[in-house]
């Protein structure tokens, strides 16, 4: 009997993985469109044709729902596979993993969350763990191989700033140029900024 009760409880409080994925996609879309502050549980309920009661029962609140949706983000192609034999080839390959449409979406998501993550430690953790850290891990591998090949000096201080440079190109593109970042833009930025900084000789 106790076993049946558990099953019934689990059933009542669970939604299917497909439905969960649908909900997270809707939350991410809303985040890109209106940002965190303007995102309401009402809007999520309306767009996903679910009841607010279900949303609150399942996730507890907006912050938890958004953090889970960010966590749900699919990672790009496995980084391990990116090994072209040169730093330039690897950095270009990392960039080419996302098409222009995906980059525009990431850029919109970053914008939508920028303010919220500063007042919300859970969201900041989800953002770092699921969006920033996987990217950083990829860049670290690529850089280590470049150091092993002798393309980059192990003590080049620019190594610590790879993510700052990349996020800069990415985020400033829409701010300064009023255009979403594109593959073409990021490849020129890598050639003009990231590679010269990383491959600079000892000063």
Interface residue list for a second copy (CB under 8 A) = 34-35, 37-38, 108, 111-112, 114-115, 117-118, 124, 128, 132, 136, 156-158, 160-161, 163-169, 171-176, 178, 188-189, 191-193, 196-197, 200, 203
| Smaller CB separation from a second copy, 145 or 173 | 173
The Cα–Cα gap between 149 and 130 comes to 30
Residue number with CB closer to a second copy (71 or 125): 125
Q: Which residue has the tokens 């980084």?
A: 79
User: Closest Cα partner for 97 from 85, 84, 86?
Assistant: 84
Contact 32, 108 (CB under 8 A): yes
- Least separation, in Å, of the C-beta of 11 and a second copy? 38
DSSP state of 150: T
Closest distance of CB 61 from a second copy, Å: 16
Q: How far apart are CA 80 and CA 78, in angstroms?
A: 6
Q: How far is the CB of 84 from a second copy (least distance, A)?
A: 18
In terms of C-beta density within 10 A (0-12 exposed, 13-18 middle, 19 or more buried), how is residue 82 classed?
buried
Which residue in the block uniquely carries the two structure tokens 């689990």? 10
State the minimum distance, in angstroms, from the CB of residue 139 to a second copy: 11
For a second copy, give the closer residue by CB, 46 or 172: 172
CB nearer to a second copy: give 68 or 88: 88
């Amino acid at each position: 009997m106790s076993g049946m009760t558990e099953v019934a409880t689990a059933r009542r409080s669970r939604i299917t993985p497909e439905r969960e994925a649908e909900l997270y996609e809707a939350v991410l879309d809303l985040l890109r469109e209106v940002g965190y502050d303007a995102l309401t549980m009402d809007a999520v309920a309306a767009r996903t044709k679910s009841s607010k009661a279900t949303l609150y029962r399942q996730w507890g609140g907006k912050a938890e729902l958004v953090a889970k949706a960010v966590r749900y983000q699919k990672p790009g192609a496995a980084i391990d596979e990116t090994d072209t034999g040169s730093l330039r080839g690897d950095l270009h390959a990392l960039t080419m993993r996302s098409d222009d449409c995906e980059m525009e979406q990431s850029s919109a998501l970053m914008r939508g969350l920028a303010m919220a993550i500063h007042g919300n430690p859970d969201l900041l953790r989800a953002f770092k763990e699921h969006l920033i850290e996987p990217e950083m891990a990829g860049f670290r591998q690529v850089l280590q191989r470049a150091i092993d090949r002798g393309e980059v000096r192990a003590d080049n201080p620019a190594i610590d700033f790879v993510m700052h440079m990349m996020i800069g190109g990415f985020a400033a593109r829409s701010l300064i140029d009023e255009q979403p970042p594109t593959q073409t833009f990021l490849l020129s930025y890598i050639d003009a900024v990231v590679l010269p900084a990383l491959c600079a000789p000892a000063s």
